[in-house]
Structure 1
C-alpha cells in the first residue's frame, strides 16, 4: 500500500496515505440507520482499545432516508471509534441548512473533533468557520473533494468524483454503449454532478441527465421506466448509488428495455447482481474506509499531531471497478458491510 503523499492524479487505483490504515483489522461495531437524530456508539471496551483519554467526535453526513451507503460509512467510523476510545455521535440530514444546524449542535457540545460531508459546500462554509474558530479540528469525507481546502478543513478522505466519472465514461466506450442516461438522485449535490459531468467528458456517445427524487424509491422506479419507454435508444442506465441501480433493474424490466445498468457505489445486494449479470459493473469508493480514516485521523491529530496529505492533498479511497471478474471476491467483504 502506498503511504506517501500524492498530488491529485488521474489514477484509478485507490490511494491510502494514512499511517494507521493497518488498524482496519480491528473489529467494527454494528451499523445502524441514518436518520436525523444523533446517536452514540457503544462505550464498551474493545480489543486493542487505545489507552488514551476519551474523546468525543461528531460524524455529520447528508444521508437521506433509506440510503444504505451511509450504513457502511458509519460502520467504518464506529470501528475506528471503538479502537480509539472515542464516543462517536452520528447525525445526518440531506437538507443542507439542517446539516449545518447539526454541525452547530456539535460545536455547542464542545466535541473534540468533527467529520463532515460537503455535498453542498456553500451551506457549510459559515458553520465550519465557527468550528475552526472554536479550536475544533474538522475533516471531510466522501463529498467535497474540490472544496475542503477552501473551507479550511484539515484533511479529506474520498475520491475525485470527476476522475471517477471520466473513468466510467471510458468504460462505457469499451462496452460499446451509444446512449446513456445519468440518473441523479439528489439535485444540488456537487459530487453527483461531477460524476455525470466527468462521464460526459470522456463518453463518446450521447448522454442525458435524469433527475429523480432519491427519497422516494417508487417514484425513482416510475421515472426511469417512463424515460426508457420514451427513448428506446438508451442502451445504458448509469445510477449514482447502489439502491438506485437495483431499482433501475426493475425499471428496465417494466419498460421492456434492453438497456444495461452501471452504477457508482456498492452494497451486498449489488455485488450479487453484478455476479448474476443483471448489473454490469460498479465504481467503488470504499465508504467503510472513508468513515474509518476520518474518525481515526482526528485521534491521530489530537494524540500525535499527525495529519495526512500535508494539509494539501486528499487521501483517495477510490475509484476502482467491480465487475463480474472480481465481484465474488468483493462480495465476502460486502456481506460483512465493509465494502
Structure 2
C-alpha cells in the first residue's frame, strides 16, 4: 500500500515562502547558481529553488574512490537536482557499515528524501527503517533489484542483474566462446554475484568466477594475467566495470592469450575500446539515468505523490548491449560524460 508523502520540514517551507515574497518585491530576482565540491567522498551540491521545491535530498552510494561509473550516476543526480531546485548532498562509502552510518547521518539531518544503493542490503535494513520512522522516503538505485522491496524502499531504478547476466551468457554462445572468466572485484556485492550467476545459467560453455581486489589495479592485473597463463582454454574474460575491462585487455596481452574481453558497464574510454575492437561488447545499465531518476522521483513524490512502478515494480534502466555496430550512437553522449 502506498502512503501519501509526509510534508517537507516546515522550516524549509518558511524559507521558500520568504524567498518567493522577496522576489515579488525586488525586480530582477532570479534563482541562484549551483556549487559543488570537487573532492572525493562526501560532496554537496546546492542549486536554485524551483516552484514547490526547496527540498534537501541525500544520495548515498557504495562507490569506491576513483570509480568513473559513479561519476555518471552523480552527474545524472546533479542534473535532476538542478532542474527540480533540490539541495543535493552526495556521499559514499564502499564499506557497508560506513554506508549505513551515512544514511543515519542523513536521517539526523532531517533531509526530505534519501536515495541509496543496496550492494549489501542487510546492512541497510536498520537505517532505512529509521528513515521511514522519521517520515523520510527512501528510494533505491543501481544495486538491489531483488531486495529493494524487502528492505523497505519506496521505488527502485536500475538493472535486473540476473537478467543482464543471462543476456551476456546468450551473447557468448552466439560468439562461440567456450570458457569464460567472470571477474568479480568486490566480494559480497550481490549485484556482481548475480551477474556472474546469470552468465553461468545461460552460457553453454564453462563459467569460472575470478575474485580480485578492485581497489588495487596492479594486483588485479597480475591475478588475471596469471590465470590466463595457467589455462590457455580461457577464451573470454567478462569484467564488471569499464576500467576493469581495460585492465583485462592489458592482461590478455601480457599473458599472450587469445581470449577476448567483454564487460558490464561503459564510460568514454570503454566506448573507444569497443570502437577499436579491443573490447567485444559492453552492457550499458545507464548510470546517468539511474542517478537522474532516483532524485527526480523523490521530488515527484514530495510535490505530487507520484510513485514510479506503483511501488511494486522496479524501473529498469538496462541491460542494453553496446557493440561495434552501434557504438557510434553512444559515443557522442559518452564524450559529454552522460553515458
User: Do both proteins adopt the same fold according to a TM-score greater than 0.5, normalized to the shorter chain?
Assistant: yes
Equivalent residue number for residue 44 of structure 2: 40
Structure 2 residue runs of 5 or longer lacking an equivalent are 1-33
Rg larger in 1 or in 2?
A: 2
Matches within 5 A, 1:229-268: 229-268=229-268
Equivalent residue number for residue 177 of structure 1: 177
| Paired residues of 1:62 and 1:117 also in contact (CA < 8 A) | yes
Alpha-carbon distance between aligned partners in 1 of 2:36 and 2:287, rounded to the nearest angstrom: 13
Alpha-carbon distance between aligned partners in 1 of 2:133 and 2:35, rounded to the nearest angstrom: 34
Alpha-carbon distance between aligned partners in 1 of 2:274 and 2:89, rounded to the nearest angstrom: 34
Cα distance, 1:35 vs structure 2:
3.9
Q: 1:186 to 1:33 in 2, by over 3 A?
A: farther
Cα distance, 1:53 vs structure 2:
3.3
Equivalent residue number for residue 21 of structure 2: none
| Paired residues of 1:72 and 1:338 also in contact (CA < 8 A) | yes
Matches within 5 A, 1:309-328: 309-328=309-328
Equivalent residue number for residue 282 of structure 1: 282
1:211 equivalent to 2:197? Answer no
For these two proteins, the number of residue pairs brought into alignment is 307
Alignment deviations for residues 38-69 of structure 1 (CA, whole Å, 9 cap, x no partner): 211143x4xxx732231110000000122110
| Paired residues of 1:34 and 1:92 also in contact (CA < 8 A) | no
Q: Which has the higher contact order (CA 8 A, sep 6+)?
A: 1
Alpha-carbon distance between aligned partners in 1 of 2:140 and 2:201, rounded to the nearest angstrom: 26
Equivalent residue number for residue 197 of structure 1: 197
Equivalent residue number for residue 64 of structure 2: 64
Cα distance, 1:227 vs structure 2:
0.7
Equivalent residue number for residue 304 of structure 1: 304
SS of 1:207's partner is strand
Alignment deviations for residues 272-324 of structure 1 (CA, whole Å, 9 cap, x no partner): 00000000000110000000000000000000001111100000000000000
SS of 1:150's partner is helix
Q: 1:222 to 1:32 in 2, by over 3 A?
A: farther
- In the superposition, the TM-score normalised over structure 2's length comes to 0.88
Alpha-carbon distance between aligned partners in 2 of 1:123 and 1:167, rounded to the nearest angstrom: 29
- In the superposition, the TM-score normalised over structure 1's length comes to 0.88
| Paired residues of 1:33 and 1:71 also in contact (CA < 8 A) | no
Q: CA RMSD in A?
A: 1.5
SS of 1:41's partner is strand
